[in-house]
Amino acid sequence: MAKYRKKPVEIEAFEWTGDRHQIEDPIWISDAIKEGAVQFDHIGTGDVQLTIKTLEGNMRANRGDYIIKGVQGEIYPCKPDIFEQTYEKVDQ
């Protein structure tokens, strides 16, 4: 059995608060919402969620999850603990 290391890649991401006044809304998430690839469920409640259509099927994001745009433009959610273990902020 061989071992492999993940290649370093830069992604775009933001923490989704589920708030109507989300401070950070990248253009790519707004475009995905307009295209129907990302939809809101339970709007106006404390249980608001995002449903994100991916190649692997629909994925759900809860408040506090990170929403990631991958290297090929794919969008998917990531739990905060996994995000923090996997990614570090890049100085711009």
pTM over 0.75? The answer is yes
Query: What is the predicted pLDDT for the residue at 6?
Result: 82
Residue 64 resides in a domain:
yes
| Whole-number pLDDT of residue 27 | 93
Whether residue 22 has pLDDT greater than 80: no
- Number of domain units in the chain: 1
Per the structure, the complete domain to which residue 37 belongs is given by 12-86
Q: Does residue 39 lie within any of the structural domains? A: yes
In a domain? residue 1: no
- 3 assigned to some structural domain: no
Q: What does the angle CA 83 – CA 87 – CA 16 come to, to the nearest 5 degrees?
A: 45
Rounded distance between C-alpha atoms, residue 47 and residue 18, angstroms = 9
Q: Give pLDDT tens digits for 33-56.
A: 999 999 999 988 889 999 999 989
